[in-house]
Amino acid sequence: MAKSRSEAGHDSLSTQYRDVRALTLALAAPLSDADATVQSMADASPAKWHLAHVTWFFETFILRDHVPGYRAFDPGYAYLFNSYYEAEGPRHARPMRGLLTRPSLEEVCAYRAHVDDALLRALPMLRAPARPLLALGLHHEQQHQELLLTDIQHLFAQNPLEPALFDAPSASALDLPGPLHWVEGREGLVEIGDDGRHGFAFDCEGPRHRALLHPHALGHRPITNGEWVAFMEDGGYATASLWLSDGWAWVQANDVTAPLYWRRSDQGWSRFALDGRHPVNPAEPVTHISLFEADAFATWAGARLPTEAEWESAALNIAPGSGTLLDGAMCPRPRPATGTTGLTRMFGDVWEWTGSAYRPHPGFRAAKGAVGEYNGKFMSGQFVLKGGSCATPRGHVRASYRNFFYPHQRWQFTGLRLAKDL
């Protein structure tokens, strides 16, 4: 007998839930309890905390609030694994997450199994108000899958042994992409932002609105490691006139001379990644750079960073799955651009810094309740990145997607694409 539309929808959600949750565990599978406990800096979180926090999200906002009779796995976990939701009460301080030697990784995995079992049993009975929260929880976990990887990379980079989480993938071709060329962007009034008609989107992606674009062009591909070496060899990190004032102060205070994880030896430049340390491939997109570095490079190149509206309007008709994205438990690695006409690698490979502040779109209103704290309260002092990276799960990004970080942060897979006025 054919299934009803409702039953088919339950099966689809169940499959999606199982797949997302399974990928998180697969990414963490190579870790020891010690690997999963330690925190390398205040901006990062232990792998164990990521595994538990995304589970707390489902337990709190779906099981607790929408499944009658559900009992928390451990009432103390609400304090340990709340991230920043003031409406949910006090929580363990973020910089101290690495001191949580208990619960163990095994106990956290048992917590995940308990919540998964309860949610999957409750799924057929979930009423309409809970279903958007389930979608939010799944996309939230996908965000943490990328954070899990980048936080492990930062942690392992602090170890003099520089351990590898994954075996090295097949090497990228060493043939350099052709010279950068420019692709003219749209001009005049354009519409950007989510309009609510094409599936899930975070609240900060909307509402749809008009933006005015002046004549401009975008680089057809991201900037490469080879081009970045030319910037360094031309004194890019030692020339104050290239840098924003805050950026120059950051360079001086932190003795920044290269992208994060790069090291120079008699054999040339190498970089540390989740597959260990390897020579820098000049053909691959440069990554692990701050907005300050991206802006200085753009100034050096006689260009600038694109605005969010320029980037998004250019990406509207490009397939979000066209670049290198995370496909299962594999080593994320940006790949060289191969296209020679039109815009290429707008999605995947590296998050692309824009020159636009992360502020609300016209008409934005945060949702009521705790979930309204998800994005809106962070719209201060950060900049928008677009397009996703090689560590972003496939299917997670779209043209309207807005990632955001502070201008000095660079432990994510962050790169750049140039823009210029015409």
- Report the percentage of the chain scoring pLDDT > 90: 86
- Distance from C-alpha of 238 to C-alpha of 231, rounded to nearest angstrom: 10
Residue 416 CB contacts under 8 Å (≥ 6 apart), including other chains: 222, 223, 286, 289, 294, 297, 298, 305, 350, 352, 353
pLDDT of residue 12: 85
The CATH number given to 5-157 is 1.20.120
Q: Which residue has the tokens 């998180």?
A: 24
313, with CB counted inside 10 A (0-12, 13-18, 19+), is buried
The more confident residue out of 13 and 141 is: 141
pLDDT of residue 209: 96
Chain segment 69-110, per-residue pLDDT in tens: 999 999 999 999 999 999 899 999 999 999 999 999 999 999
pLDDT of residue 31: 98
Q: Are strands 262-265 and 276-279 parallel, antiparallel or unpaired?
A: unpaired
pLDDT of residue 10: 59
pLDDT of residue 172: 67
pLDDT of residue 106: 97
Domain spans in the chain, listed from the N-terminal domain onward:
5-157, 182-421
Specify the range with the lowest mean pLDDT, choosing from 188-192, 227-231, 320-324.
320-324
The predicted model gives 25-32 an average pLDDT of: 98
The more confident residue out of 169 and 131 is: 131
- Distance from C-alpha of 114 to C-alpha of 106, rounded to nearest angstrom: 12
Residue 76 CB contacts under 8 Å (≥ 6 apart), including other chains: none
Q: Are strands 351-357 and 414-415 parallel, antiparallel or unpaired?
A: parallel
| In 14-54, beta strands by DSSP E | none
pLDDT above 70 (res 283): yes
pLDDT of residue 180: 94
The CATH number given to 182-421 is 3.90.1580.10
Chain segment 235-244, per-residue pLDDT in tens: 999 999 999 9
Chain segment 337-348, per-residue pLDDT in tens: 886 679 999 999
- Distance from C-alpha of 275 to C-alpha of 278, rounded to nearest angstrom: 8
Question: pLDDT-derived band of residue 211, with 50, 70 and 90 as boundaries?
Answer: very high
pLDDT of residue 2: 42
Of 271, 195, 198, nearest in space to 228 by CA: 271
pLDDT above 60 (res 135): yes
The predicted model gives 135-142 an average pLDDT of: 96
- Distance from C-alpha of 168 to C-alpha of 184, rounded to nearest angstrom: 38
Q: What is this structure's pTM?
A: 0.95
Of 288, 308, 292, nearest in space to 300 by CA: 292
How many CB atoms sit inside 10 A of residue 370's CB? Answer: 16
Question: pLDDT-derived band of residue 65, with 50, 70 and 90 as boundaries?
Answer: very high
Q: Which tokens is 58 given? A: 């489902």
Specify the range with the lowest mean pLDDT, choosing from 33-42, 144-153, 158-167, 371-380.
371-380
Chain segment 340-394, per-residue pLDDT in tens: 679 999 999 999 999 999 999 999 998 887 788 788 899 999 999 999 999 999 9
pLDDT above 70 (res 3): no
pLDDT of residue 129: 86
Q: Which tokens is 138 given? A: 């799944």
Residue 339 CB contacts under 8 Å (≥ 6 apart), including other chains: 220, 221, 345
How many CB atoms sit inside 10 A of residue 395's CB? Answer: 17
Chain segment 263-276, per-residue pLDDT in tens: 999 999 999 999 99
Asked if 394 and 325 count as a contact pair (C-beta separation under 8 A), the reply is: yes
